[in-house]
Chains A and B, each alone.
Chain A
Amino acid sequence: MKDKIAIKVDDLTVAYNFKPVLWDVDLSIPEGVLMAIVGPNGAGKSTLIKAMLDIVKPIAGTIEIFGKPYKKQYKEVAYVPQKGSVDWDFPTTALDVVLMGTYGSLGWIKRPGKTEKKEALEALEKVGMLEFRSRQISQLSGGQQQRVFLARALVQKASIYIMDEPFQGVDATTEKAIINILKELRKSGKTVVVVHHDLQTVPEYFDWVTFLNVKKIATGSVKDIFNDDNLTKTYGINYKVSLLQ
């Protein structure tokens, strides 16, 4: 199952104002894993996924999604940005935000119709937000906003889900709801890549992990590589798995 490569990153270097934030990163993400990207602040975690999504242009290196460049594969990829990246005072409802996830498959000019609306409602139900469908998005709590974002990614019906810190600032119920959905996605063969902050939950939530600190430190299954050695290499201090609990 894990021999097909979903995302392949080759020699990727990204710089902001000539200062490299990612340096010569090679990374192969097998299809069907639930992977965490961990690393200290400023390690380039968000930059790495933005490069995968073609939002950030690298100064060197290539990225392939199932063997082809992103531009040809964008329908295969769903992105959940950080909650803070949008203006939640925008005049729209939860349902409408989820509907935006269907825009990609609709293409230019065509409007969402009954089918899309039904899919959006199903996605809202899946994340437990159906009753909030007509609520203005600024009236939602942080956790609810994150769940709306997840629902929006779900309606894209992609093969790869890329999420930027989905657990940041959400309540425990939401965190549990989100991780259950992510595990479900993996079970159905999807690939899920998550920028993650909480090292403590890595072994419980994920089966695959990438350690990143400007350079790639290690990547592989949580079982094999989530150890003291890699934690220390990534975070610089004497980190121990046992101390996380």
Chain B
Amino acid sequence: MTSAQIEIQLIACIVAVACAIPGTFLVLRKMAMISDAISHSILPGIVIGFFLTEDLNSPWLILLAAFSGILTVVLVEYIQKTGLVKEDTAIGLVFPSLFSIGVILIAKNAGDVHLDVDAVLLGELAFAPFDRVIIGSADMGPKSLWVIGIILLVTLALLLAFFKELKISTFDKQLAATLGFSPVIMHYGLMTVASVTTVGAFDAVGAILVVALMIAPPAMAYLLTNNLKKMLLMASVFGIIGAILGYWVAHWLDASIAGSITTVLGVLFFLIYMFSPNRGLISVLYRQKRQKVEVHLLTFLLHLQNHSEKSERHINHLNEHINWHKVRAQSVLDLALKNNMITIDDSIISLTDKGKTFTSEAINYIITNKSAAIEEMKDRFFLFRG
């Protein structure tokens, strides 16, 4: 690897972590779309900042852009509060307006400057190593590495200091308020961090990749863990994996780095969405199927309990009596046998004592619906465990 390659991957990884942290809270607050809005509406802030300072590297640019990010949030909330339109509509109204103001400003006044809409939206990681910080005659590394590195450090410091406050105001805003933690301060604090991160990152990776890095890794982590700290950690790791894999995919395909990273994140999300052990699609479908079998087993046991006459309990008449086709009847029969719920004598099925107890308890549970007792019951009767 050349040093430029290492620098690009390093920048991408730092951007990924800096985005994953505010992104996790945005996802949990169901505000993912706000990051999209912010990433576009920082444009007028950048343009105005450029007009005032005539310098693309001025910190004023970052401040003004962050301000227009906050302005987006304020406007969205203001429009939403009137009660005339819903939040998603408000977002859709605000950010294209702000973005297009930026576009017009560029077209009218900055035609001859190195500032174009494509660069803002898509960025170009491959160019990041060319723009360097040079102090005296010493090369201090790429500028974007410094910018995003400082933003990441500040974000991490804020996260460590206010983790508890962020958690409580995200989970239960009202409790946070009654305990003396201002949810409004936390809200705008988070929005400021999200805006500053977006501004710091867009130059290197572009607005679209910022959105992808803020939302996709936390969304993956959300499917895998029940612990907020782990979610933050996993989101950062997924972001880093996406950044490095994406870089090499781009290298291999000779395509845009930002585009490749976003694609890799999409593929990763799809895999986790399918295969996550608890919340993944496959395990959800499996669980539903298992629940269906459980209900069938119970129906079958109930039928046995209700009928003492032999004709109703003959093994060959099962299908007709409960109106099941053969495969299902067989699988339910096997399950009941395996769990010692029934015995079969001369093709006549009878409930065992265990089967009787199980059935009565299950019915009792269904009628009273008193507690989560059925889960413990299933454990007690070793259902599905052979």
Contacts and interface: CB of A to CB of B under 8 A. Distances in A.
Interface of A: 17, 50, 53-55, 71, 74-75, 77, 79, 81, 85-87, 90-93, 97, 100, 103-104, 106-112, 136, 140-141, 143-144, 152, 156, 171-173
B290 to A, nearest CB: 16
A17 B82 CA distance: 9
B386 interface: no
A3 to B, nearest CB: 27
Interface string B162-206: 111101101110110111110000000000000000000000000
A100 B172 contact: yes
B165 A171 contact: no
Interface in B212-254: 222, 225-228, 230-231
A108 B165 contact: yes
A211 B98 CA distance: 51
Given A77-B178, A86-B171, A112 B370 contact: no
Interface centre among B28, B165, B175, B227 (most CB of A within 10 A): B175
A85 B174 contact: yes
A25 B167 CA distance: 35
B161 interface: yes
9 contacts: A86-B171, A90-B170, A93-B227, A100-B167, A100-B175, A108-B181, A110-B164, A111-B163, A173-B371
Contact of B228 (A54, A86, A91, A109): A91
Given A91-B231, A93-B227, A141-B372, A100 B171 contact: yes
A156 B180 CA distance: 13
Contacts of A173: 370-371
B228 A92 contact: yes
Contacts of B181: 103, 108
Contacts of A140: 372
Given A109-B162, A144-B372, A171-B370, A91 B222 contact: yes
- Of the four ranges (under 10, 10 to 19, 20 to 34, 35 or more), the interface on chain B belongs to 20 to 34
A104 B174 contact: no
Contacts of B168: 100, 103
Contacts, number: 89
Contacts of A108: 162, 165, 181
B369 interface: yes
Q: Nearest 3 pairs between A and B by C-beta? A: A104-B179, A136-B226, A79-B178
Contacts of A85: 172, 174
Contacts of B225: 91
B83 interface: yes
Interface string B369-384: 1111000000000000
Interface centre among B170, B179, B225 (most CB of A within 10 A): B179
A97 B164 CA distance: 11
B180 A111 contact: no
Given A81-B172, A108-B162, 15 more contacts: A54-B177, A77-B178, A79-B174, A81-B174, A87-B171, A90-B28, A91-B226, A91-B227, A92-B228, A93-B226, A104-B178, A108-B181, A109-B161, A143-B371, A144-B372
A245 to B, nearest CB: 22
Nearest to B373: A141
A110 B162 CA distance: 9
Interface centre among A53, A97, A108, A173 (most CB of B within 10 A): A108
B371 A55 contact: no
Contacts of A97: 171
A111 B160 CA distance: 10
Nearest to A86: B172
B32 to A, nearest CB: 14
Contacts of A90: 28, 170-171, 228
A55 B178 contact: yes
